[in-house]
Chain A
């Protein structure tokens, strides 16, 4: 039974990403992206990553998608001029993409999980997924969390600067 559910989510994820990447209307693309994030969150649940699934839904589906939609509505997605959608395929970009795909598939199909850490499924189940991740975050990766705070602060300032500069600019 679990195999059928997993197969559905695999195929649905692939189909949804194709749909989201080929839509002409950017609003439709962003809405398909929302569906993709929800499906990926369910695949995280298959992998015993409940906290990450929740973060995925809250941060990606809740915050980043809303940011995308705000941008689209600020631009006025319907008034965008109609251009050609793709660059000329013969420039070799598609070839680069396909070769990277082939390399990734060749590498990923030969990876074996030989290393085994101490966070077994039973341990994580006993402690609790969120607590295990939180302990790892604030003990071993505490400096990285601080740097992450700076990384989130700087874009905030940058976005404010970009928005403020519009007043005295003659555009």
Chain B
């Protein structure tokens, strides 16, 4: 029997790799990719806990996560295209429309 901690530590490592990359990367596309990696880590933790606690709610929550992630990524990518059409750039450091100068 594989211990629960193995799955949880794997999920935590995947999540935090995505998080670190989300914080330090400048390319908006890679930021979305790291968001997906973070969500994969979260889903893995949910499913592992659901398996070891003999309760199926974790898997149901993971399905909800996947569906909401699909919607959010659709909006995010279309905003990315709109911003790229406007500025010809996908650099997160150059998105300053809302910043008060």
Contacts and interface: CB of A to CB of B under 8 A. Distances in A.
Interface of A: 2-3, 6, 10, 13-14, 17-18, 20-21, 26, 29-30, 33, 36-37, 40, 43-44, 46-49, 51-52, 55-56, 59-60, 63-64, 67-68, 71-72, 74-75, 77, 80-81, 83-87, 89, 93-94, 96-98, 100-101, 104-105, 108-109, 111-113, 115-121, 124, 132-133, 136-137, 141, 144, 148, 151-152, 154-156, 158-159, 162-163, 165-166, 171
A72 B84 CA distance: 11
A31 to B, nearest CB: 10
Given A47-B47, A64-B36, A117-B53, A81 B29 contact: no
A118 B54 contact: yes
21 contacts: A6-B6, A17-B18, A21-B18, A33-B36, A33-B37, A49-B59, A59-B66, A64-B69, A67-B73, A67-B77, A68-B29, A71-B29, A81-B88, A84-B26, A86-B26, A97-B24, A101-B12, A113-B53, A133-B60, A137-B60, A171-B85
Contact of A158 (B57, B75, B81): B75
Where chain B touches its partner, the secondary structure class is: helix
Given A105-B9, A105-B13, A108-B45, 12 more contacts: A14-B17, A33-B33, A33-B36, A37-B40, A64-B36, A68-B73, A71-B29, A83-B91, A97-B23, A101-B16, A166-B82, A166-B85
